[in-house]
Amino acid sequence: MGTFCSVIKFENLQELKRLCHWGPIIALGVIAICSTMAMIDSVLWYWPLHTTGGSVNFIMLINWTVMILYNYFNAMFIGPGFVPLGWKPENSQDSMYLQYCQVCQAYKAPRSHHCRKCNRCVLKMDHHCPWINNCCGYQNHASFTLFLLLAPLGCIHAAFIFVMTMYTQLYNRLSFGWNTVKIDMSAARRDPLPIIPFGLAAFAATLFALGLALGTTIAVGMLFFIQIKIILRNQTSIESWIEEKAKDRIQYYQLDEVFVFPYDMGSRWKNFKQVFTWSGVPEGDGLEWPVREGCHQYSLTIEQLKQKADKRVRSVRYKVIEDYSGACCPLNKGIKTFFTSPCTEEPRIPLQKGEFILATRGLRYWLYGDKILDDSFIEGVSRIRGWFPRNCVEKCPCDAETEQALEGEKKNR
């Protein structure tokens, strides 16, 4: 029991409630279906256990399942780590560089952000993932990324088992009229015959599991490449958007400065080691971070404060140039938009050509912001908030009054 508790750390039994959510239920259901069907198909109809290859194959299937579930539950139950309630920097003067969270009654540590779902400030927050019903951040970033790697690899192995099972079992039952085609299927012949025949129900179940395995390979594989890309830059999804807005601010005001991301260690290997360690425990304490030469602990938080004070980059105004139905994964907006749909419970905003949107953050192919329901763009009017495809909108010039005010700010700088 002690060994089990050391593997998966529960803050308390309330953490088990995370399983009672549509995300974990679907994720664990897919894992169970693909793993179980792969083992059944392999043992009964494709690669029996009494052969060396069959035994090795079965052990590999069990190994995939155990590693996938281990990293999945680690990501879910260990969690990202939270800023201590009431936290403030040791040097009181440093608080001027930090934002204050009214909910947590604490200053937001560098790289931390408040999550409305978790209702806490999350250390090195990347995003809130509905599939683990928790945030991805400082403590569980490595486990979450390993899960995203292992799940597609395990599904590729399972998909191979499904395809070969159907091929070997149906080869002698289906005629395609290819009388001249000769294929050596001696390896597929089972002697003795399987105890349970490969019937219609087995075929339907195998075909269904194959669809799940292929869909998971594509969808989760795309998420893995997105995560590993930002890890090699030692960034989070939120920080990549902050960097994009910083460059936009500098370009607009024509400032004589270059934004340098402070946590990029200068090499991909050093950035990689900030997340993945041999001990499994990430470097640092989540409150203070190593920074590159010429930067300091609060370089990024100072940039955030500048953006918060800047009316123009706080939210970028876009005009809708193409209708969008509000679908989670729209097929008609391009394959990259389809496969990079944000993995979040936050809603999508239906758009109609000619409407206006205020974007506050975003990804490469998606933006997040508010659709204003009336014609005025005054703070406090009714809004609909959510995600929308980036290729449905274009940046639009400010209205005359706002543009004049911004030009005045620009001259003052």
Q: What residues are labeled active site? A: 129
Structure tokens at 184: 């050596």
What's the longest Cα–Cα distance across the chain?
87
Give the span between the Cα atoms of 376 and 177, in whole angstroms: 69
Polymer length of the chain: 413
Q: What is the dihedral of CA 198, 204, 209, 211, to 10 degrees?
A: 130
Q: Which residues contact 173 (CB under 8 A, 6 or more apart)?
A: none
Q: Which of 335, 147, 282, 154 is nearest to 227 (CA)?
A: 147
Give the span between the Cα atoms of 126 and 112, in whole angstroms: 9
Give the span between the Cα atoms of 302 and 309, in whole angstroms: 11
Using alpha carbons only, what angle is made at residue 138 by residues 25 and 21, rounded to the nearest 5 degrees? 15
Using alpha carbons only, what angle is made at residue 315 by residues 231 and 84, rounded to the nearest 5 degrees? 55
Q: Which of 81, 115, 91, 90 is nearest to 101 (CA)?
A: 115
Structure tokens at 357: 């949107």
